[in-house]
Structure 1
């Protein structure tokens, strides 16, 4: 049987300690409670602090749980509720549009596909649940960047790769794209990630009004843009689907 990694066990013990009892604890209290040398405890706390899992009060020097843990916890809950609420609506969208539908959430500087409804025909398709898409070039990613400050900062700080001649990579130009997304309420990927592939996406909000994901219809450019522009009824259908899921999640703005 493989041995557990001691440093991870100690870090987990620290997080549990900070999660219970007093709101803030000092280094000496943490080290004594866990039976660690102060130097060892300090090193673990500094690592947890750098990752956002622990915060140190500048006045007292005491430690408490960080905001990153809350974000991770909310993400876990949101994703499971999001998938459950979106099942019927995404199936309906795939049937009405005749195209593939993807449900995506922010994850590790990209878009994680958490649900995928196949295009309703007899063509051979690959399930993309678990796949990652870039933030800066996809419809799903642009929507998340436009409405989620964390996604926005991650896209600007990360590498914006030039996938096709249409990919927008400059910071100023990318900000203009996001302004347009906010003004419209939806985003498009017009062969910016894959040649010949187009998508249109809209944001999903939860009961707190926070963006928890996005829905997109994806397909061949000749089907989605037969006249060179996205079919308006397709844009409307995606937005209606996103609003329906948002309402089911308790959002009040729709």
Structure 2
């Protein structure tokens, strides 16, 4: 019978340790809890940190789980399954709102559109499935950046290009937008990506309360907004749609 690889067993034990309890632990605490020499524990932590599985707080020097684990966890939920679960709900949202609906996921430092329901008015439209949207300016990107640590890091570290005069490019301003997004549970894009176009988006969570995607209503500014603000009925509709898809993939009621 083949023997288990000891270094992998120790790394797995370290990740489990960081996943429970205080979640942020110092080197001495980790080594003592696992019965390892500090040098051995530090070597494993350094490797996990290099791979993005562990992060170290600069101020305290304590370790915590890294964002790469979230990316791996999210891949457990297949994108095609997410799309199939969202089909009915997004169709209903497009019908009730009278606007286009997009379903997006984080992919390669942007938002990948995995499902697009046309605006139900028989107008000429272009299918956007497979298109990439920026994280920093779109409603989908802001929602994903607010709730997904990987998207958040990529949005901050990447180039935030000014796509229109209204695009927010400063890091501090962008963080304020993400704070507001988390506080109210939805994000908006009013001519920040395309002039004349506005969108409102809400996050989809799985059974572990992890963000796995987002849904957005997109349309002309004059239809999405009223008196300079997004129409509240559209905000309510996209949030309820996102909640419905979340419940359908196993999330609790929220």
Interval of TM-score (by shorter of Structure 1 and Structure 2): 0.7 to 0.9
1:47-67 deviation digits (Å, cap 9, x = unpaired)? xxxxxxxxx975479x89x65
Q: Who is 1:151 aligned against?
A: 151
1:153-206 deviation digits (Å, cap 9, x = unpaired)? 110000000011110110000011011111110000010000000000000000
1:97-132 deviation digits (Å, cap 9, x = unpaired)? 000000000001000000000000111111101100
C-alpha distance in structure 1 between counterparts of 2:229 and 2:77, whole Å: 37
CA-based RMSD of the aligned residues comes to 2.5
1:224 equivalent in alignment to 2:238: no
Check the 8 A contact 2:71/2:150 in 1, yes or no: no
Matches within 5 A, 1:207-246: 207-246=207-246
The DSSP-based 3-state class of the residue aligned with 1:88 is helix
The DSSP-based 3-state class of the residue aligned with 1:106 is strand
Unaligned residue ranges in structure 1 (runs of 5+):
1-19, 27-55
Matches within 5 A, 1:5-44: 22-23=4-5
1:121 to 1:59, Cα distance in 2 relative to 1, 3 A: same
1:23 to 1:119, Cα distance in 2 relative to 1, 3 A: farther
Q: Who is 1:166 aligned against?
A: 166
C-alpha distance in structure 1 between counterparts of 2:180 and 2:77, whole Å: 30
Check the 8 A contact 2:140/2:215 in 1, yes or no: yes
1:207 to 1:159, Cα distance in 2 relative to 1, 3 A: same
> Cα distance, 1:228 vs. partner?
2.0
Tell me the matched-pair count.
Answer: 205
Matches within 5 A, 1:61-76: 67=53, 68=68, 71-72=71-72, 74-75=74-75
Check the 8 A contact 2:103/2:215 in 1, yes or no: yes
C-alpha distance in structure 2 between counterparts of 1:76 and 1:162, whole Å: 34
Check the 8 A contact 1:209/1:253 in 2, yes or no: no
TM-score, normalization by structure 1: 0.74
Check the 8 A contact 1:78/1:212 in 2, yes or no: no
1:23 to 1:121, Cα distance in 2 relative to 1, 3 A: farther
> Cα distance, 1:23 vs. partner?
4.1
Q: Who is 2:204 aligned against?
A: 204
1:183 equivalent in alignment to 2:183: yes
1:192 to 1:24, Cα distance in 2 relative to 1, 3 A: farther
The DSSP-based 3-state class of the residue aligned with 1:77 is coil
